[in-house]
A and B are shown apart, each in its own frame.
Chain A
Amino acid sequence: GEDVEQSLFLSVREGDSSVINCTYTDSSSTYLYWYKQEPGAGLQLLTYIFSNMDMKQDQRLTVLLNKKDKHLSLRIADTQTGDSAIYFCAERNNTDKLIFGTGTRLQVFP
């Protein structure tokens, strides 16, 4: 079956790095995504990684993929208060549907 799990909550100090983790079960996933959702808003696509890669960096964001362990992480460097939001990982399954994780609420304090 398809199951994407994330820890519910992460609290970090401004300026520190944040690491949000995600585990998935579908080994046939081709693309994995990270979305950000601020309160009352839609989902913003942050970045994505193809399953044959193990790392992708985009400015303050670094995505790591461990395909053997089916583990995905998003590292945000120099976390700012504007990064406070819910972060969803998602996998694209073999019918091209997005399966979303449970979401991690990131809180950044000064």
Chain B
Amino acid sequence: DTEVTQTPKHLVMGMTNKKSLKCEQHMGHRAMYWYKQKAKKPPELMFVYSYEKLSINESVPSRFSPECPNSSLLNLHLHALQPEDSALYLCASSQDRGLEQYFGPGTRLTVT
């Protein structure tokens, strides 16, 4: 199994809603990542978890809150988002931090 899965595939939320994005991998990888990708741009790193501990936060606003409940799961909790947060949110994992990363299909988020 070399797959990273993400749910939901699409999400539309209002600015007062609370929602969560989920990511799962069963490759035994110990590093997991959240990226944000705007149209026609490369992915931008948001958070890195290594061995279930947050190791990098790229100065992301607190309305994005990551959580790593166990080594296979990574969540991104969303609250009070802005329309400019609309983007494709990508999860990735790697065997260890710094090794090649495998990406999920992404969640297309629209904030209205």
Q: Which A residues lie at the B interface, using CB under 8 A?
A: 31, 33, 35, 40-45, 48, 88, 92, 95-98, 100-103
Contacts and interface: CB of A to CB of B under 8 A. Distances in A.
A31 B104 CA distance: 21
A45 B106 contact: no
A95 B48 CA distance: 12
CB-based closest 9 A-B pairs: A96-B98, A100-B42, A42-B103, A43-B103, A42-B105, A42-B106, A96-B97, A42-B104, A42-B90
Contacts, number: 42
**Chain A interface, DSSP helix/strand/loop, else mixed:** strand
A101 B90 CA distance: 17
A41 B100 contact: no
B100 A48 contact: yes
